[in-house]
Amino acid sequence: MVKNENKREILEIMENIKKKIAINNLINSIFLIVGLLSTFIGLFVLFILFVDLFTDGYPRLSYKFFTSFPSRNPSEAGILSAWVGTFFLMIVTGIFSIPLGISAGIYLEEYAPKNWLTNIIEINIANLAGVPSIVYGLLALGVFVYFFKFGESILTGGLTLSLLILPMIIMATREAIRAIPDSIREASYAMGATKWQTVKWHILPYSIGGILTGIIIGLSRAIGETAPIITVGALTFIAFLPTSPLSGEFPFISFNWLFDPFTAMPIQIFNWVSRPQAEFHVNAAAAGIVLLIMTLIMNGLAIYIRHRFRKKIKW
């Protein structure tokens, strides 16, 4: 008798468990559908955006579009000064933000003592990455334009964008460095290496993939930024190029271009979109395609670099 009762109890429990499993499975499937839909909505919107941009702007894309200055006549207007401006801006941004960002990241990870001061610095760097870009523009207007008197120039624009992406590069550097196991550091120090030797032979080479990825993602963010460079006075209508950095006469290299006024891709787009004529909107879409492709190429490069270095280094 006792045995039979036990058996019935077990059967009841099993029955309950089966019900529970069915409910859990149902909840699971519901989430699966919700997740799938969410993913598709995001992708779908993006896809529509691309298609819309391409159908609007594609007819306008031609060799001439890249080699013409902006013009009052929409069919003659091009993006020459815009992409050249963007190119020079990126050079200045890279020259300032890359060495500063990498050095700061290495200092914070490898050298800085762990105390309240470094904690505060770390928290603030994370905060800086979240500061709205227009605020950087205001800061740069005060510091670079009015205080240092760099003018409304490529130098000012590049420095502003450097400030903007500096925290991103610092954080990417730190993350890449943190992925290196301590056993590698200890092996290096145990051979009598100094900190700098360890950084030079191990820390930097093993983290360079992650650092490069961070740099490219930072630059591809900077390339599309509009607000801060409008604030520091990038012009919307520029029908000339900056002074060439190379010249035929001694000393062959000139830095005058740093102080030339400039425009950039996002500003050109912004300018064309705000015109009333529909033809200019087509130009804007075409320039949008160019900017989008620039960014996609940079991001693709970042993914490629990350993949390559990850394959080469194992712990």
Partner 1 sequence: MENIEADVKNLNFYYGDNHVLKNNNLKIAKNKITALIGPSGCGKTTFLRCFNRMHDLYPNTRYEGEIILYPEEKNIISQEIDPIEVRMQISMVFQKPNPFPKSIYENVAYGLRVRGINKREMLDERVEKSLKSAVLWDEVKDLLDKPAFNLSGGQQQRLCIARALVTDPRILLFDEPTSALDPIATGRIEELMIKLKEEVTIIIVTHNMQQAARISDFTGFLYLGEIIEFSNTQQIFTVPKEKLTENYISGRFG
Backbone angles phi, psi at 82, to 5 degrees: -70, -50
Alpha helix stretches (DSSP H) within 148-248: 154-178, 182-190, 195-198, 204-224, 227-231
Amino acid in position 191: M
Residue of 31, 111, 189, 304 interacting with partner 1 (CB under 8 A) = 189
Instruction: Tell me which stretch binds partner 1 (CB under 8 A): 181-189, 218-226, 227-235, 292-300.
Output: 181-189
Q: How far is the CB of 312 from partner 1 (least distance, A)?
A: 8
Return the number of other C-beta atoms located less than 10 Å from residue 295's C-beta. Answer: 17
239 scored as a contact of partner 1 (CB under 8 A): no
Query: How far separated are the first and last CA of the chain, in Å rounded?
Result: 63
Asked if 263 and 82 touch (Cβ cutoff 8 Å), the reply is: yes
The amino acid at residue 11 is: L
Which of 16, 75, 194, 277: binder of partner 1 (CB under 8 A)? 194
- Please state the length of the chain: 315
DSSP at 151: -
What are residue 113's phi and psi, to 5 degrees?
A: -65, 150
Sequence-ordered list of residues with C-beta below 8 angstroms from that of 173, at least 6 positions apart, any chain: 101, 102, 104, 105, 106, 109, 207, 210, 211, 214
Instruction: Establish if 315 lies at the interface with partner 1 (CB under 8 A).
Output: yes
Rule CB under 8 A: say whether 307 interacts with partner 1.
Answer: no
Residue 272 found at the interface with partner 1 (CB under 8 A): no
Candidates 72, 114, 149, 311: give the one binding partner 1 (CB under 8 A).
Answer: 114
257 binds partner 1 (CB under 8 A): no
Report CA torsion sign: 150, 153, 154, 157: positive
188 binds partner 1 (CB under 8 A): yes
Residue 214 Cβ, how far from partner 1 at the closest point, in Å?
20
Size of interface with partner 1, in residues (CB under 8 A): 23
Is 312 a binding residue for partner 1 by CB under 8 A? The answer is yes
Q: Map tokens 């320039």 to a residue.
A: 287
Which position among 113, 130, 251, 276 is part of the footprint of partner 1 (CB under 8 A)?
113
Residue span binding partner 1 (CB under 8 A) among the ranges 65-73, 198-206, 257-265, 284-292? 198-206
Q: CB of residue 55 vs partner 1: minimum separation in angstroms?
A: 48
Q: Which amino acid is at 132?
A: P
Binding of partner 1 by 247 (CB under 8 A): no
Tell which positions 51-80 bind partner 1, by CB under 8 A. none
Residue 50 region, left (φ>0) first, then alpha (ψ -120 to 50), else beta?
alpha
Interface pick for partner 1 out of 61, 128, 193, 208 (rule CB under 8 A): 193
Q: Which CB sits closer to partner 1, 53 or 208?
A: 208
Q: Which residues bind partner 1 (CB under 8 A)?
A: 113-114, 181, 183-194, 197, 201-202, 206, 312-315
